[in-house]
Structure 1
Amino acid sequence: MAYRLKEYSYNDKLTKDQNLLLDKLYKLRMSGMAEELENQLLNPNTGLESFETRFSDIVNFEWSQRENKKFNRLLKQATLKYPSADLDQSLYEPERQLNTRVIELLADCNWIDEPNNLLMTGGAGAGKTYLACALCITALHQMRTVKYIRANYLLQEAEHARLESAYYEYSNKMAAYDLLVIDDFGLMDLDMSKCRDLFEIIESRDCRKSTVIISQIPVANWYMLFGENTYADACLSRMTSKAYRLDFPGRDRRVNNSN
């Protein structure tokens, strides 16, 4: 995507040389530095600060602006179901029966570097997807690439890519994300073709990238989803052999919240 050059508007409260300097910063694509420098030039108390402090503020403002832009770009790419999810205090509610120690460790995102998978299971409405999105946002703040997708839609996309002779490109794209979240695993039909597509996507990430699998079905029963035992063994081995697990034994929170 082409970089859109931000226009600089002449400020008649500044000198000609100061305006020229700001204009150059904009043309160098350092709009954050230009904005902070302009604020300093217009602030009568700026001279009270040392040059090092002022320059540090200018650089930090530019850095922060670029990090925010990158985060927002990654967040949009992630297509999270809950883009505002966070690890709030509701995790510690006794009735949810969550292993909060494990969640706190997962929030460090070291498991993504290992890389290990994460299997999240529990009943509908227990908060699995919300927590997964919160962990994704933590990873995004570390400038990792993330993708959230429902299992059925993932397989539909893979099938469409095959029909368009673009499966190789699609598979490479799904393999490249630092963290791939597959939601509603089990709520999809798995014929032979889809078993093959699922296997190839899981295989492309095995021991290279981390994958989160979210399901209402206990892990022990996942093999029943496959109509072909060979693919069942191959997929499940890759998904579960290096995987942390997080169970959600609590009740449906959507029902509770509607009362």
Structure 2
Amino acid sequence: MRIQSEITLTPEEQALISRLKSFRVPEMARILEEQLRDPNADLNTFKERMSAMINSEWQSRADKRFNRLMKEAHLRYPAADLDETIYRPERQLDTQIIERLSTCHWIEEGKNLIVTGSSASGKTYLINAFCVTAMKQSKSVRYIKANTLMSEMEQARIKATNLDYLNKLTKLDLLVIDDFGLMDLDLDKCRDLFEVLDTRDGRKSTVVISQFPVSSWFDMFADNTYADACLTRITDKHHTYRLEMNGINMRETE
């Protein structure tokens, strides 16, 4: 709607706009001003005019919330989406499972997801697409590589800020740990990983992405007790979905 600059607002109309701004609904104030300056505004019904104001305010807040969540998520592929490539036969994907996972209902249930398969099969891109969908639903997300997670936990432990760091991870609706297996898991890091998984267990969703099969994960841990504890929390079939991706090399098709 184009603002008709030649139309002067009355003091009462200006007061209404100022009050809306004071209520911290600036988009509603902007649309109201446009309507008041538009000589054809009365061609629309009261409901239509109110809907335009409310929907504009809602969309503005949704966009700001999404942008904030995106900034905090640190996605590798922030523009990822579920495009038609998932249906290509050579990718060997179970598209029904992917379509169901893309609704993000499992995140609301606090379920986990393990994604395994060959290198460059598109695992990270696909999960980043799920992350984008989750953020559009106002869910908080953090994507992080396993090595980086272990390093940040170690630094937090050294600085005695590990509880604060852990609390931030615990509150996330979705935590994505990528490149699992490409990290060193000595005793301290075993303990750190256990703390992350344990505080989220049964409450918040965690995705683990790895090019190694789950059957080999136990041997990655320096301590068998922590191996049992961690894997119990992340691989339990009652709380964790699985997705295999062993199709073509997606980097070679770019």
Worse overlay, 11-20 or 27-36: 11-20
Q: Give 1:113 shift.
A: 2.0
Residue identity matched to 1:214: I
Indicate the percent of aligned positions where both proteins have the same amino acid.
50
SS at match of 2:202: coil
Q: What residue is the counterpart of 2:7 in the other structure? A: 13
Q: What residue is the counterpart of 1:230 in the other structure? A: 225
Residue identity matched to 2:140: T
Q: Give 1:123 shift.
A: 1.3
Q: Give 1:108 shift.
A: 1.3
User: 1:122-137 counterparts in 2 under 5 A?
Assistant: 122-137=117-132
Q: What residue is the counterpart of 1:183 in the other structure? A: 178
User: Is 1:251 the counterpart of 2:248 in the alignment?
Assistant: yes
- Distance of 1:121 and 1:209 partners within structure 2: 20
User: Is 1:94 the counterpart of 2:89 in the alignment?
Assistant: yes
Q: Give 1:124 shift.
A: 1.4
Residue identity matched to 2:108: D
User: Is 1:78 the counterpart of 2:69 in the alignment?
Assistant: no
Q: What residue is the counterpart of 2:148 in the other structure? A: 153
Residue 31 of structure 1 is aligned with which of 21, 26, 29? Answer: 26
Q: Give 1:15 shift.
A: 1.8
Worse overlay, 35-44 or 198-207: 35-44
Q: What residue is the counterpart of 2:115 in the other structure? A: 120
Worse overlay, 125-134 or 53-62: 53-62
SS at match of 2:217: helix
Deviation track 1:135-176 (CA, whole Å, cap 9, x = no partner) reads 011111111111111111011111111111111111111111
Q: Give 1:28 shift.
A: 2.3
- Distance of 2:243 and 2:39 partners within structure 1: 56
Q: What residue is the counterpart of 1:8 in the other structure? A: none
Which 4+ stretches in 1 moved above 6 angstroms? none
Q: What residue is the counterpart of 2:192 in the other structure? A: 197
- Distance of 2:172 and 2:220 partners within structure 1: 25
Q: Give 1:255 shift.
A: 2.0
Residue identity matched to 1:73: R
SS at match of 1:189: coil
Q: Give 1:12 shift.
A: 6.5
- RMSD, aligned CA: 1.3
- Distance of 1:255 and 1:107 partners within structure 2: 25
Q: Give 1:35 shift.
A: 1.3
Residue identity matched to 1:179: L
SS at match of 2:82: coil
Q: Give 1:42 shift.
A: 2.6
Q: What residue is the counterpart of 2:45 in the other structure? A: 50
Conserved? CA contact 2:9–2:36, under 8 Å:
no
- Distance of 1:99 and 1:204 partners within structure 2: 31
Residue 211 of structure 2 is aligned with which of 216, 220, 234? Answer: 216
Conserved? CA contact 2:117–2:244, under 8 Å:
yes
- Distance of 1:45 and 1:16 partners within structure 2: 17
Conserved? CA contact 2:9–2:37, under 8 Å:
no
Q: Give 1:238 shift.
A: 0.5
- Distance of 1:144 and 1:121 partners within structure 2: 24
- Distance of 2:38 and 2:243 partners within structure 1: 52
